[in-house]
Amino acid sequence: MISTLDSRPRHREASSNIVCRQSAALRHAVTGTRRPLIAKIPDEVLREIFDRLPMATLLSMLRVCSELHFLVARLRYTVVSPSDIYLTYPILCQALLTMDNLVALSLDIFPGQCEPLISSLERYGLLNNRVLVATRFLNLSRGIQRTPPTSTLPSLRGLRVRGDWSLSMLICNRPVDELVFSSPVDYAALSEVCCLIDRSVYGRQLTTLVIRLAPPLRMDEALQALSEILPNLEQLSLDQRGLEPMLVLDLVVAPRQLFPSIRRLALNPVSGWRADSEITRHQFVVDLCTWMDEKIVVESRLVRVGMADVVWSLDLTSYTWKAELRRGSIIILGALALNL
């Protein structure tokens, strides 16, 4: 039996050969038909191990242990220093190529620094040039056929973008059902996004959209444009300074029902209540009670509505609307028992 702790030369050589054979077997397992032994370890055990590792060790693993990339289910990439982007963008793209099981991707990029990343994504085959043409030239894109599904990031279901809408091009021809824009989107960007979703094979399968709209953008126009390409939307979060909640509710639900499948609606979760609004929180709740009794229960599938720090939910057993302030106060809207 050979001991790996023996310091004699012949034993060190034998031990090295064993390590080399094991490494070669591991690489073959990853690239071949077999999976490495680590793949048999339950995910919760791996998470527990990785949670205890220092950050430096985790970063080192990402750089040298490409065999472990298939284990990654969620990834968040944040630019810390603008000077690092030309070094880290290629590393990110190389890692994404091997993350076949990646489900959720979050990208936090400084505004104006997305072009180098877009170039890297194109270079590594993570973006399709035909889709880029379709989104940049709206008037010329009508004759361009939808591109076939991509083989990279095949498991991606959720994409969160902060900094530049252009990064949302990653949803093209991937089965993404959740798209989050953490930065405000203006009229031009919204037009590009709508075209992008419409040209994607899976675009109409989006069920969750979180979007912040720039103040000049008219809410009715934005909702109309989104409804035409997202007929199956079930969860919608809208944020805009100066948002009129009752106007949005009238547009989304009855009588027009721009989103017939909508079940959860959140308004201004970030911006909150208007400081200059003439409608107080108490008055808004009272108005909403009447609105719900007249429209929501009868004419829509809504089960949850939120406005800033107040969230209403429908009890499907009693069909009673209940609301909860984030401060902890409880409101029973159906009976108008307000506890503000």
Mean pLDDT, 10 residues at a time, the chain of 340 residues? 30 34 35 56 78 78 65 85 82 88 92 86 79 40 47 92 89 91 90 88 89 88 90 92 79 72 88 63 69 60 81 77 62 38
**Residue 276, in any domain of the structure:** no
**Residue 203, in any domain of the structure:** yes
Looking up residue 88, the CATH number of its domain turns out to be 3.80.10
Instruction: Check residue 340 and give its pLDDT.
Output: 31
Instruction: Check residue 21 and give its pLDDT.
Output: 34
**Residue 288, in any domain of the structure:** no
User: What is the token pair recorded at 219?
Assistant: 């809410």
Structural domain range at position 76:
44-233
**Residue 54, in any domain of the structure:** yes
**Residue 34, in any domain of the structure:** no
Asked if the bond preceding 111 is cis, omega within 30° of 0, the reply is no
CA of 261: how far to CAs of 109, 223, 238, 321, in Å? 32, 14, 16, 19
Instruction: Check residue 15 and give its pLDDT.
Output: 32
**Residue 207, in any domain of the structure:** yes
User: What is the token pair recorded at 275?
Assistant: 């400081």
Instruction: Check residue 202 and give its pLDDT.
Output: 85
Distance CA 88, CA 86 (A): 6
Q: At what angle do helices 187-199 and 219-229 cross, to 10 degrees?
A: 10
Tally of domains in the chain? 1
User: Which residues neighbour 249 within 8 Å (Cβ) at sequence distance 6 or greater?
Assistant: 265, 288, 291, 305
Instruction: Check residue 62 and give its pLDDT.
Output: 63
CA of 42: how far to CAs of 58, 251, 329, in Å? 19, 47, 41
**Residue 180, in any domain of the structure:** yes
**Residue 140, in any domain of the structure:** yes
Instruction: Check residue 102 and give its pLDDT.
Output: 92
